[in-house]
Chain A
Amino acid sequence: MDKLLLLGDEAIGQAAIDAGLSGVYAYPGTPSTEITEYIQKNKVAKEKGIHSEWAANEKTAMEAAIGMSYAGKRSMVCMKHVGLNVAADAFMNSAITGVNGGMLVVVADDPSMHSSQNEQDSRYFADFALIPILEPSNQQEAYDMIYDGFELSEKFNTPILVRITTRLAHSRAGILRKSPKEENKNSLPTNLKQFVLLPSIARKNYKVLIGNQVHFEKASEESTYNKYIDGKDKSLGIIAAGISYNYLLENYEDGNVPYPVVKIGQYPLPSDMIRKLYEECDEILILEDGYPFIENKMTGVLGDKKIKGRLTGDLPRDGELNPNHVAVALGLEKAKEDYVAEVIAPRPPALCPGCGHTDVFLALNEVMADYGPGRVFSDIGCYTLAALPPLNAINTCVDMGASIPMAKGAADAGMKHVVAFIGDSTFTHSGMTGLLDCVYEKTPITVIISDNDTTGMTGGQASHAEHVLHQICKGLGVEEEHIRSFIPLRKNHDEAVKILKEEIEYEGVSVIIPHRECVRTLERKNKMKIKAKKIN
């Protein structure tokens, strides 16, 4: 079979299809989005009817994946690292239920926060849930791990977390496929109470999970993804996890590392392998992208002078690793700052020319000038860029859906004329329950749901909010006369200002829904129309 040129994310999508996947569940989030998009566009996946529609959020995605596993089929749920926080309740408990059909939880971490609000390391989550982790070092391994991962999940009756990082997700390489497998047939769990987490049952399941730890570790010792690679020079031993293994190889001609290396791709950590390295070598250097997870496990509270890594300053404590960091830690080169000529100006991302959000903010800025600064609570999406000049329009961005409850909290604290600014897709992801809290207490708050008919920031995926926002707000109990709308265009500026002003003055819950399609998705649709015309 020919090699396919695929992004790490796409390799994961292809592997899942080849491994007999029956459904992928996800909410878009950089750098994980392209996994689901690949399956959505894949011809074979379409023919087989593999489920690939977006979910409302990561929690519903995880729960649906657990349901598919219950029904005996192989399911995969994909998200960015912070998405796992949203899905955490379902995720933690899926470790207690175990699986029927194999279930993989693919989480894409974003060290260096290229497109995120933190760089949390998902390995801690899997450790917390007591389940195995697969962490590929390259795109081919990502394919292989997903392909084999379902079987591993079924064998050990456990969900498995597959941890990737931005660099692996968004880098292309040639991928060799394996032969496609059939999907599982529907089947009920052997024990029909397996998924009933009543305390009496959960206690039993939890003991089973604890008992399984030894099997998980044995699997790690025997895994082809964990390797002890001997080296002549025992003055140093290296533990390299995931993608950091490549940065190690990069520093030696043809990848010939003179030191013994333990390459880690499967967790729990293979302690025999690590102990052997520790005993044979004078010092240990730990390479891992993200938090010092392995280093922490090995040094604990008491520390160990023999062990070097991100905690000891031999590698940077935060941010994505690269070959140069590793070279410095190995003493192969000295750390240097990048040379950036003085003449270069920073070029931060910005809202697109013609974006509807901009028109909303221009009106909002004019209105808020009368009330004073610091009152606009915002959220996660393209519109977060309005925190930067020239708009300087928003004051907060914490997590998906936080705008509304944060504005409520500020209103509860006595702050007047508070505004929540949220996008349509973020609203249906996690904004609705916050709005219900406001309605329940008649909180004086104005919620702007800037509706562009899409999940824009991640590249224009379908939004669950399309055509239903008004209905949702009405259903949650917002008074009909305080659900307002306008078309955010420069020519409607005065109307927008008037509506905003009226509703901000109203001492109750108002929702304003400015509605104009994202310029990017519109552009794409128009291109497709032209294309369709040419074909006809």
Chain B
Amino acid sequence: MKSDIILSGVGGQGILSIAATIGTAALQSGLYMKQSEVHGMSQRGGDVSSNMRISDKPIASDLIPKGKADVIISVEPMEALRYISYLKPDGWLITNSKPFNNIPNYPDIEEIYKEIKKVKNHIIVDADAIAKELKSIRSSNIVMLGAASPYIDMDYESFKKALKTIFGAKGQDIVDKNILALDKGREFTLSQK
């Protein structure tokens, strides 16, 4: 198996929490992984991305080649479009619908949705609304991971196990909330089929 995933968003939105969950799941499943992150200047509210590669064979490049990503997971709709050249023709674009507007010239959101809908396989999910409904607004990123999970070639249970590992120290309540967020995200995508 192989899953090449691009994570995108805005510096400070915490895309690395998604990366950490997938990474932990991969390692616990005995898979190879490489995950390239952005540190430094760009983290100050600029656009950020992370290349996440999972495979049952050793991985060469830290970077995903253009047109080869299986999935793009974006926690912000405009940022979902920035790396579209990296998505393979039948790859999936999974994005949060909620814009993060920290620039003066943020485009019309309808125009962005229109552009996203040009991508053959796309899921637009209001992760913030789902997280809010669960009274756990901070787990919106995990909702996104849940929404993307049907398109990541890994055992779904391994994500739950990873969440237990990552949030275990914070108590069962936080673990449960995140697992629920993961389930709700997944349910949303499966209901779109």
Contacts and interface: CB of A to CB of B under 8 A. Distances in A.
Interface of A: 3, 5, 7, 30-31, 33-34, 114-115, 167-168, 170-174, 243, 246-251, 254-255, 322-324, 327, 336, 338-341, 343-352, 382, 385, 389-390, 457-459
A349 B45 contact: yes
B102 interface: yes
B62 A167 contact: yes
A246 B37 contact: no
Interface in B70-106: 78-79, 81-82, 84-85, 102-106
Contact of A30 (B23, B39, B106): B39
5 contacts: A250-B61, A343-B81, A343-B114, A346-B47, A347-B46
A30 B40 contact: yes
A34 B37 CA distance: 12
Nearest to A323: B65
B42 A349 contact: yes
B190 interface: no
A348 B43 CA distance: 10
A114 B40 contact: yes
B61 A247 contact: yes
Given A170-B39, A249-B61, A457-B40, A352 B45 contact: yes
Contact of A339 (B41, B85, B103): B85
Nearest to B45: A350
B10 interface: yes
B112 interface: yes
Contact of A351 (B44, B84, B85, B103): B44
B8 to A, nearest CB: 11
Contacts of A458: 40
Contact of A344 (B60, B66, B78): B78
Given A34-B39, A322-B63, A323-B61, 5 more contacts: A174-B27, A251-B65, A343-B78, A345-B105, A351-B44
B60 A350 contact: no
A338 B104 CA distance: 24
A345 B36 contact: no
Contacts, number: 138
Nearest to B62: A171
Interface string B151-186: 000000000000000000000000000000000000
B66 A338 contact: yes
A385 B39 CA distance: 16
B111 interface: yes
B60 A246 contact: yes
Interface in B15-72: 23-24, 27, 32-47, 51, 57, 59-63, 65-66
Given A5-B27, A338-B85, A345 B40 contact: no
A31 B40 contact: yes
B11 interface: yes
Contacts of B84: 339-341
B115 interface: yes
Contact of B65 (A327, A338, A347, A352): A327
B107 A344 contact: yes
A114 to B, nearest CB: 6
